[in-house]
């Protein structure tokens, strides 16, 4: 979507739950509402100006045609109307949860956030993915929460490490950061120096100093330096069926936010990106040193693709 476009992402009772309402002018008192027409769900409008009335932003989408911000979203795609349940992350402080009028929209300060206790479950009727890859859930009119704060109970429990966003990679300038056989020769490693056993989240795209989160629920079994293996700071997470490896993200212990023995949930902050990238690896072999012995062996059958695993919500080679 373009910066000057909005997508209809709410439906009204008056439309038979098929779309949203356009009015002749912005209003704060319902008695002043001048109805114009109903527009269908998922329709994209170009807007020409905005106006703040009361607590809402209104978008001018035509001559004497205005729509309120809680009926639309900016910069979103993959709009899906479906029913499901999300669970508030166990580490969330209810006072800090952000409930918004729309995905990436203004915070809805009318919402009683104390209801969103850690572990509580909430029904949703719609999801969207924004242009930065973050999924949002619609818990009711003007009540949107992001996958940074809740987990869909129907999914496999995987999240991207940086605020659940994946920004891809540029094959022209970042070849070698992707999982699998790359065009980058890592030196005199055998059997295949072109093989990369994980995915590198670089600080240019994700920001030096940015916090990264656990990609799955599990137990931290190691958190500290591995200078002898050239891996800088390393966090190892046992998720039961696999070992998740976060490595090379910093030279400083201060950038490790968890310790061995900690149980973490998906989306829980565990470290900070201090150096040039955070290498994420997922290994079927749960003994770290044994897994490292096969770092350059694409035929070992122990390395899962991190991006495919998170996108598919299941361990994927």
Q: Quick one: pLDDT at residue 113?
A: 62
Q: Quick one: pLDDT at residue 114?
A: 62
Q: Quick one: pLDDT at residue 316?
A: 95
Cα–Cα distance, 274 to 253 (Å, whole number)? 10
Q: What does residue 301 show for φ and ψ, rounded to 5 degrees?
A: 75, 25
Closest CA to 63 of 7, 20, 21, 25: 25
Q: Quick one: pLDDT at residue 112?
A: 65
Beta strands in 24-83 (DSSP E): 35-40, 44-46, 49-53, 56-62, 65-68, 72-73, 76-80
Domain at 77-152: CATH code: 2.30.30
CB-based contact 3:76 (threshold 8 Å): no
Length of the chain, in residues: 317
Cα–Cα distance, 175 to 196 (Å, whole number)? 10
Q: Which residues pair with 72 in a beta bridge?
A: 8
In tens digits, the chain (317 residues) has pLDDT values of: 788 999 999 888 777 878 899 999 999 999 999 999 999 999 999 999 999 998 899 999 999 999 999 999 999 987 888 889 998 887 777 777 889 999 988 988 876 666 788 888 999 999 998 888 788 999 988 899 998 888 888 777 898 999 878 888 889 999 999 999 999 999 989 999 999 999 999 999 999 999 999 999 899 999 999 988 889 999 999 999 999 999 999 999 999 999 999 999 888 899 999 978 999 999 999 999 999 999 999 999 999 999 999 988 899 99
Closest CA to 230 of 245, 247, 244: 247
Cα–Cα distance, 252 to 241 (Å, whole number)? 30
DSSP count for the chain of H helices, then E strands: 3, 26
Helix or strand or coil: residue 130?
strand
CB-based contact 20:12 (threshold 8 Å): yes
DSSP classification of residue 190 = S
Residue 54 gets the label, from left (phi > 0), alpha (psi -120 to 50) or beta, of: left
CB-based contact 279:198 (threshold 8 Å): yes
Domains 77-152 and 180-312 are alike in CATH topology: no
Domain at 180-312: CATH code: 2.70.70.10
Closest CA to 231 of 214, 245, 216: 245
Cα–Cα distance, 289 to 200 (Å, whole number)? 20
Q: Quick one: pLDDT at residue 218?
A: 92
CB-based contact 57:142 (threshold 8 Å): no
Could you tell me the residue ranges of all domains in the chain?
5-74, 77-152, 180-312
CA 90 to the chain's CA centroid: 17
Question: Which helix or strand (DSSP H or E) is residue 309 part of?
Answer: helix 306-312
Q: Quick one: pLDDT at residue 22?
A: 95
Helix or strand or coil: residue 187?
coil
CB-based contact 164:134 (threshold 8 Å): yes
Half-sphere exposure of 229 (CA within 13 A, CB side): 15
DSSP classification of residue 100 = B
Q: Which two tokens stand for residue 274?
A: 């201090």
Cα–Cα distance, 1 to 83 (Å, whole number)? 25
Residues 6+ apart with CB under 8 A from 20: 8, 10, 11, 12, 38, 39, 41, 67, 71, 72
Helix or strand or coil: residue 227?
helix
Q: Quick one: pLDDT at residue 118?
A: 85
């Amino acid at each position: 979507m373009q910066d000057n476009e909005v997508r209809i992402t709410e439906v009204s009772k008056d439309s038979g739950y098929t779309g949203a309402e356009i009015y002749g002018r912005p209003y704060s008192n319902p008695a002043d509402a001048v109805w114009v027409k109903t527009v269908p769900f998922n329709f994209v409008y170009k807007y020409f100006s905005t106006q703040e009335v009361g607590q809402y932003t209104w978008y001018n989408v035509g001559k004497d045609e205005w729509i309120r911000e809680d009926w639309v979203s900016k910069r979103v795609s993959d709009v899906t109307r479906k029913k499901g349940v999300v669970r508030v992350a166990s580490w969330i402080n209810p006072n800090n949860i952000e409930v918004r009028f729309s995905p990436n929209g203004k915070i809805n300060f009318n919402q009683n956030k104390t209801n969103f206790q850690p572990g509580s479950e909430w029904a949703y009727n719609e999801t969207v993915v924004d242009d930065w890859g973050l999924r949002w859930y619609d818990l009711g009119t003007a009540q949107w929460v992001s996958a940074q704060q809740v987990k869909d109970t129907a999914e496999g429990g995987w999240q991207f490490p940086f605020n659940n966003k994946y920004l891809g990679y540029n094959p022209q300038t970042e070849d070698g950061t992707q999982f699998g056989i790359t065009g980058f020769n890592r030196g005199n490693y055998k059997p295949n120096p072109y093989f990369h056993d994980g995915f590198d989240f670089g600080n240019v795209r994700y920001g030096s100093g940015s916090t990264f989160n656990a990609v799955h629920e599990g137990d931290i079994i190691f958190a500290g330096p591995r200078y002898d293996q050239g891996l800088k700071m390393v966090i190892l997470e046992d998720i039961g069926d696999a070992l998740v490896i976060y490595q090379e993200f910093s030279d400083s212990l201060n950038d490790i936010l968890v310790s061995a023995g900690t149980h973490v949930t998906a989306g829980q902050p565990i470290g900070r990106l201090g150096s040039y990238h955070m290498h994420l690896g997922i290994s079927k072999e749960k003994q770290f040193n044994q897994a490292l012995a096969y770092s350059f062996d694409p035929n070992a059958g122990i390395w899962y693709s991190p991006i495919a695993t998170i996108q598919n919500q299941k361990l994927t080679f």
